[in-house]
């Protein structure tokens, strides 16, 4: 058999110019995508159904004579959600927005600063610090729950937002990511040049480094926002006043002792998902590029 002809550029690139292969790929992806999305569809429908319809039908509510009856869909659950004063969902949303975004901002800048230090400065103890950071990624948070709680109590930080934000403002994983990112995107020569021109260290950091790690900033902010937004164990332990509770806790607490008001719960879940979905759509590109610069070629 003669040796195969040298591959054309298209063939190297994965050869999707071949329509049949393209169809196969889509044929594999589409069912998986549907399976992934089914729970969301179910969630949306469940939030629009009355309790009888919830137990009566899987997806779309059924009419009296069988077949589907879309007029049975209702916004009742949402109305109840927003008008029930004991749930106070408006305040919960504000709390969540604040907690998630403040943590994101704080953690990102702390991590960027520390990551930059580890990446572009040579100093004694750098290796030790790097190992410390890597080790910190491994420390299991459950281990710190009990003594951490005691500490917050001693510092008078229980039932404060500060007490919730500070402990997670030093993200070891974030430092690791930013260190990679800085090494990737910020050439040493640039910094040397700036130093020789007499720039202040802070100046270099804000004017040169930060803009160059922009994707990672966006990515990490998103990750942190997402984590804090969905976090409900932390707030339940640290916060006491119901007025400070974030959305995740409020919705989770709607599951009463025996009453499963699923409609309300589903509406709350959907409300909780929408803002992060919106943010994710906005930050999609950064997210991918950010992870690229941070994790690849580590």
Partner 1 sequence: MIRSLASSLNAALSPGAKVIASLALVGGAVTLLWPIERAPGLELWMFSPAHREMYRSTLETWGDSPEREPVEVSVFGIPALERRLMGGIFSGVDMADLVEVERAIVGPAFRGPVEAVGFVDLTDRLESEGLLDEINRPSFGPWSTRGRIFGLPHDVHPVLLGYRADLIESAGIDLSTVETWDEFGAALRPMIRDTDGDGEIDHWPLAFWPTHEDNIEVLLLQGGGGLFDADGRLIMDSDRNAVLIAEMVSWCVGPDRWCVDVDEFTNASNSQKIEGYSLAALMPDWMCNIWKEQIPQLAGKVKLMPLPAFEPGGRRTSVRGGSMLAITRSAEDVDEAWAFAKELYLSDELAQTLYTSTDIVTPIKRHWDDPIFDEPDPYFMGQAKGRMFIELAPEIPARTSSPYFRAARLELRNAANELYEWGRDNGVYTSEELLSKAKEILEARTDLIRRDVERNVFIPREPDTGESGGGGEGT
Partner 2 sequence: MSITEPPRAVAEAESSALLTPPTPEVLNRDRALNVAGPAWLFLAPFLLVFAIFVLYPLGKSLVLAMQQTYGPGATEWVGFDNFANLLRDDLFRLAVRNTVVYTLGSMFIQLPLALGLAMLLNRPSLRGRGIYRLVFFSPQLMGLVFAAMLAALVFEKRAGLLNQALHWLVGFDLDFPWLQTHIMWTLILTSLWMYVGYNMVFFLAALQNIDKSLEEAASVDGAGPLGRFWNVTVPSIRPVASVVVLLSLIGSLQLFELPWIMLQSTPGPGNRGLTVVMYLYQKGFETGDLGYASAIGWLLAVMLIGLALVQLWIVRREDRP
Positions touching partner 1 (CB under 8 A) are: 54-55, 86, 91, 94-95, 97-102, 104-105, 149-150, 153, 158, 161, 206-207, 210-211, 213-215, 217-218, 221-222, 225, 236-237, 240-244, 249, 252-260, 279, 282-283, 285-286
Tracing tokens 């589907």 back to the chain, one arrives at 68
Return the range that interacts with partner 2 (CB under 8 A); candidates 14-22, 61-69, 74-82, 90-98.
14-22
For residue 176, report the phi and psi dihedrals to the nearest 5 degrees: -55, -50
* Cα–Cα nearest to 285, from 229, 222, 225: 222
Residues 127-186 that bind partner 2 (CB under 8 A): 129, 135-148, 150-151, 166-167, 169-170, 172, 175, 184-185
Nearer Cβ to partner 1, position 105 or 136? Answer: 105
Nearest to 233 by CA among 253, 263, 258, 261: 253
User: Distance between CA 117 and CA 33 in Å, rounded?
Assistant: 42
Region from 65-73, 78-86, 94-102, 275-283 binding partner 2, contact rule CB under 8 A:
275-283
Q: Which is nearer to partner 2, 72 or 222 (CB)?
A: 222
Query: Binding to partner 2 by residue 101, rule CB under 8 A?
Result: no
CB 221 within 8 A of CB 171: no
- What angle, rounded to 10 degrees, do the helices at 19-47 and 262-295 form? 140
For the CA atoms of 275, 230, 234, 83, the dihedral, rounded to the nearest 10 degrees, stands at: 60
Of 81, 108, 183, 205, the residue at the interface with partner 2 (CB under 8 A) is 205
Q: Which does 29 bind (CB under 5 to 8 A by kind): partner 1, partner 2, none?
A: partner 2
- DSSP 8-state symbol, 207: I
């Amino acid at each position: 058999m003669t040796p195969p002809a040298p591959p054309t550029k298209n063939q190297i690139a994965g050869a999707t110019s071949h329509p049949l292969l393209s169809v196969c790929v889509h044929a594999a992806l589409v069912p998986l995508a549907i399976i992934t999305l089914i729970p969301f569809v179910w969630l949306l429908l469940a939030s629009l159904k009355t309790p009888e319809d919830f137990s009566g039908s899987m997806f779309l509510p059924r009419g009296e004579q069988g077949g589907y009856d879309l007029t049975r869909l209702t916004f009742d659950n949402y109305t109840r959600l927003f008008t029930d004063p004991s749930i106070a969902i408006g305040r919960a949303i504000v709390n969540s927005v604040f907690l998630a975004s403040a943590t994101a901002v704080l953690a990102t800048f702390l991590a960027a600063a520390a990551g930059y230090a580890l990446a572009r400065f040579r100093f004694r103890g750098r290796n030790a610090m790097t190992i410390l950071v890597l080790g910190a990624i491994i420390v299991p948070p459950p281990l710190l729950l009990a003594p951490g709680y005691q500490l917050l109590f001693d510092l008078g930080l229980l039932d404060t937002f500060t007490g919730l934000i500070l402990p997670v403002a030093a993200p070891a994983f974030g430092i690791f990511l930013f260190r990679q990112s800085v090494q990737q995107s910020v050439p040493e020569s640039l910094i040397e040049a700036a130093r020789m021109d007499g720039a202040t260290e802070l100046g270099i950091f804000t004017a040169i480094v930060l803009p160059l790690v922009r994707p990672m900033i966006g990515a990490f902010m998103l990750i942190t926002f997402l984590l804090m937004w969905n976090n409900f164990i932390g707030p339940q332990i640290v916060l006491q006043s119901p007025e400070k509770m974030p959305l995740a806790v409020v919705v989770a607490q709607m599951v009463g002792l025996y009453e499963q008001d699923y409609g309300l719960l589903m509406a709350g879940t959907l409300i909780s998902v929408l803002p992060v979905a919106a943010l994710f759509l906005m930050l999609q590109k950064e997210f991918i590029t950010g992870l690229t610069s941070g994790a690849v070629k580590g």
